[in-house]
Amino acid sequence: MDAAALFSALPGHWVGIARTWFEPGQLADESPIDGSIEPVLGGRLLRHTYRGAMQGKPRMGEETIAFNKTGPRWEVSWVDDFHMGKAILHSVGDATDTGFTVLGHYLVGDPHPPWGWRTTYALEGPDQLTIRSHNVMPGEAEALAIEVRYRRVPA
């Protein structure tokens, strides 16, 4: 999907369900989520903020989304009070037919190599956005870790 079209389509108030898996195929949590996507810095970037719960405890996070024309590539920086702790995950990637997919890496502690984290934004209709994140463990198949299914709240 064209970056300009996506930058126009994503802003708004979104609500939905967030699902989290800690082990492949074993759903650990399913909770309501409330998000907002808004342009920042004169529309150069998008900011996605969200609030929800994880196993009954409040959780919140934020992503800064950019399309770097020099690449050209998509770039996302993610902070979250549950998954990321005190780290920032920076991911880069390419456009897809319905949005974009980015890949970043995070530390899991010595002596293990960093794991990958692939996130895909898919605008599946003007009022439906799905965000899926997969763990990319070295030498193993990608495993679905988070799925957010948003629907737009009418203005």
> What's the full length of the chain, in residues?
155
Element (H, E) at 140: none
| Cβ pair 73, 92 in contact under 8 A | yes
Domains in the chain (CATH in brackets) are 3-152 (2.40.128.20)
The predicted model scores a pTM of: 0.95
Cα 58 from Cα 68, distance rounded (Å): 33
Quick one: pLDDT at residue 86? 85
pLDDT in tens, 5-59: 999 999 999 999 999 999 988 999 999 999 999 999 999 999 999 999 998 899 9
Of the pLDDT bands very low, low, confident and very high (cuts 50, 70, 90), residue 155 is confident
Cα 49 from Cα 141, distance rounded (Å): 29
| Cβ pair 126, 14 in contact under 8 A | no
pLDDT in tens, 57-104: 999 999 999 999 998 999 999 999 987 778 999 999 999 999 999 999
Cα 90 from Cα 84, distance rounded (Å): 11
